[in-house]
């Protein structure tokens, strides 16, 4: 019996969800329904009003205090309804026949309104900051868009600052964020598909793409996975990221998160899909490959040579962040013969009387550093600096003087730390930080061979990994030369004539060939000259 109950119970639930509750003709019934649903919610404001010559028509507005723009309601709803409507003089006949139409079309001066008949949807709109206007004698409800809460103004993105480039970052409001992207791309083909995810939070989630550029396979996968999310609440785009990513075993981020509208716009033009989530400044970019984690928007604003050098520097930084403590362990513990003799002697001298083996020494220092970093993040800014001084200077210095760690080790740890901050993507940097410890363990067990083993295992993981159908290591695999121009180096902008080969974009051309144009113009000049001579 319970089994049947379960089945039928579920079915009933679904029906209710689909149809909702239709509003009735009576204002009182509708209001009672809403009041009943929003019982004990003291931030909801109900306002009954009478309009008409003899104050004979009953209306009510419902909104939530704090979520709405009070000025808008006062000036464009209440003022219009209560005062302006008296000055106008529509015939009584007309009013009698259709008060609803008159008010909707002729009275309310708010910009964005829509009408619904579903009471549950009405409640959802009220909860998202809209104002509901209910009529006596009409089952239709007018929803006036009046969202206007206290929000953070647009400010520079904190995690992704650039020297050259726009300073604006996303904010916590999805509407502002979509507008920021729109301002970059004024193309009717830029589509913003909005949906609500989270059975309780009803968080607004917008999927952005450019219709004739986007890789359809990726888009379909994103849409399908978003639709399959059944969760009570979405907080931060990190929830979505974790729910739609391919392989949750992986330490590497398969979705790129960014606070920068220019980065989102550029990715959209490459044929990627972006997801914006309400209440967070972090947008998601899909698909993501290893190479994109090393790209910074600034690379494209600066000239190519400096950008290329910076790219190479970042890749080197990633390798340094990944293996330098492991290399230290391997060389001091296993292969002192492989480094220059003078250095070997120096290392041996500094390690004289050291109580711990190299691995333990490296592990202590790395762990201490991670600890300091974590503590520094938690603390308020002024105290955070104190922690930096205490940790970096005092502990480092004291540890060396006490003979617990060698000075070389302190340098290695410091270089590693600096290197790990050179990776533009924070989540990628975390991946390298985590893997560093595995490399250290492998180096402690097998020396240099352990590091090679580590590389082989990480590479195996990476060649298998895909982000929404795109191989994670592309374009290094399934090699395409034009794509490689934007990986280890950033070629001059003339070389980016086409969109990335790894994405299946219908509109491939990105730019007309500048060089061809130049040649053409030179030829034109020559022809002109010849004509003149003749």
Whole-number CA gyration radius for the chain: 31
User: Of 13 and 478, which CB lies nearer to another protein in the complex structure?
Assistant: 478
Name the minimum Å distance from CB 477 to another protein.
4
Name the minimum Å distance from CB 460 to another protein.
4
Write out the residues near another protein by the rule CB under 8 A.
246-247, 334-335, 338-341, 343, 446-449, 451-453, 456-457, 459-460, 463-466, 471, 473, 476-479
- Which alpha helices (DSSP H) does 379-508 contain, by range? 381-388, 396-401, 407-421, 426-446, 448-464, 481-484
User: Of 176 and 488, which CB lies nearer to another protein in the complex structure?
Assistant: 488
Q: 161 with 297: CB under 8 angstroms?
A: no
Residues 534 and 532: their CA atoms lie apart, in Å, by: 5
At 532, phi and psi to the nearest 5?
A: -60, -45
Least Cα distance to 491 among 312, 237, 281 occurs for: 312
User: Of 305 and 477, which CB lies nearer to another protein in the complex structure?
Assistant: 477
Distances (CA, A) of 363 to 95, 320, 439: 81, 16, 11
User: Of 281 and 454, which CB lies nearer to another protein in the complex structure?
Assistant: 454
What's the maximum distance between 2 C-alpha atoms anywhere in the chain? 105
Cβ burial, residue 18 (10 Å; 0-12/13-18/19+): exposed
DSSP string, 184-210: H---TTEEEEEEEE-TTT-EEEEEEEE
Name the minimum Å distance from CB 282 to another protein.
26
Name the minimum Å distance from CB 448 to another protein.
6
Name the minimum Å distance from CB 453 to another protein.
6
User: Of 306 and 459, which CB lies nearer to another protein in the complex structure?
Assistant: 459
User: Of 151 and 456, which CB lies nearer to another protein in the complex structure?
Assistant: 456
Q: Is 16 helix (H, G, I), strand (E, B) or coil?
A: helix
Name the minimum Å distance from CB 481 to another protein.
11
Q: Ramachandran region of residue 353, left (φ > 0), alpha (ψ -120 to 50) or beta?
A: left
DSSP E strand stretches across 124-172: 131-135, 141-144
Name the minimum Å distance from CB 478 to another protein.
7
User: Of 226 and 453, which CB lies nearer to another protein in the complex structure?
Assistant: 453
User: Of 215 and 259, which CB lies nearer to another protein in the complex structure?
Assistant: 215
Name the minimum Å distance from CB 356 to another protein.
20
- Which alpha helices (DSSP H) does 422-447 contain, by range? 426-446
Q: Is 147 helix (H, G, I), strand (E, B) or coil?
A: strand
User: Of 17 and 478, which CB lies nearer to another protein in the complex structure?
Assistant: 478
Name the minimum Å distance from CB 348 to another protein.
15
């Amino acid at each position: 019996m319970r089994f049947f109950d379960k089945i039928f119970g579920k079915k009933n639930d679904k029906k209710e969800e689909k149809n909702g509750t239709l509003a009735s003709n009576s204002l009182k019934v509708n209001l009672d329904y809403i009041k009943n649903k929003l019982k004990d919610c003291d931030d909801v404001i109900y306002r009954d009003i009478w309009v008409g010559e003899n104050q004979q028509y009953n209306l009510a507005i419902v909104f939530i205090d704090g979520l709405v723009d009070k000025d808008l309601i006062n000036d464009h709803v209440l003022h219009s309804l209560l005062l302006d409507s008296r000055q106008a003089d529509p015939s009584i006949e007309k009013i009698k026949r259709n008060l609803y139409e008159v008010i909707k079309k002729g009275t309310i001066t708010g910009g964005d309104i829509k009408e619904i008949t579903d009471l549950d949807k009405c409640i959802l709109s009220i909860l998202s900051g809209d104002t509901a206007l209910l009529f006596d004698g009409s089952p239709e409800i007018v929803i006036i868009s009046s969202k206007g809460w206290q929000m953070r103004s647009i400010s520079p993105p904190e995690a992704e600052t650039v020297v050259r480039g726009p300073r604006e970052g996303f904010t916590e409001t999805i509407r502002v964020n979509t507008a920021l992207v729109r301002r970059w791309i004024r193309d009717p083909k830029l589509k913003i598909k909005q949906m609500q995810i989270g059975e309780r939070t009803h968080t607004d989630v917008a999927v952005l793409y450019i219709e004739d550029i986007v890789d359809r396979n990726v888009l379909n996968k994103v849409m399908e996975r978003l639709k399959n999310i059944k969760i009570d609440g979405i907080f931060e785009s990190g929830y979505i990221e974790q729910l739609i990513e391919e392989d949750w075993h992986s330490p590497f981020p398969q979705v790129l998160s960014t606070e920068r509208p220019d980065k989102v716009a550029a990715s959209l033009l490459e044929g990627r899909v972006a997801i914006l989530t309400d209440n967070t400044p972090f947008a998601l970019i899909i698909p993501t490959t290893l190479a994109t984690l090393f790209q910074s928007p600034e690379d494209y604003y600066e000239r190519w040579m400096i950008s290329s050098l910076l790219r190479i520097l970042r890749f080197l930084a990633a390798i340094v962040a990944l293996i330098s403590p492991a290399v230290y362990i391997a060389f001091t513990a296993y292969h002192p013969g492989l480094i220059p003799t003078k250095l070997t002697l120096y290392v041996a001298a500094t390690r004289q009387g050291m109580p711990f083996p190299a691995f333990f020494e490296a592990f202590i220092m790395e762990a201490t550093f991670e600890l300091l970093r974590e503590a520094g993040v938690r603390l308020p800014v002024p105290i955070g600096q104190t922690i930096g001084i205490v940790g970096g200077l005092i502990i480092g210095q004291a540890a060396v003087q006490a003979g617990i760690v060698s000075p070389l080790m302190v340098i290695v740890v410091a270089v590693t730390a600096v290197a790990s901050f050179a990776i533009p993507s924070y989540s990628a940097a975390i991946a390298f930080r985590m893997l560093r410890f595995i490399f250290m363990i492998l180096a402690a067990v097998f020396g240099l061979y352990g590091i090679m083993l580590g590389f082989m295992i990480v590479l195996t993981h990476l060649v298998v990994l895909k982000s929404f159908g795109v191989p994670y290591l592309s374009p290094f695999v399934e090699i395409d030369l034009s794509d490689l121009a934007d990986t280890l180096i950033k070629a001059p902008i003339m070389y980016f004539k086409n969109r990335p080969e790894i994405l299946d974009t219908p509109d491939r051309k990105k730019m007309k060939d500048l060089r061809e144009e130049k040649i053409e113009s030179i030829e034109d000049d020559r022809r002109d000259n010849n004509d003149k001579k003749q």
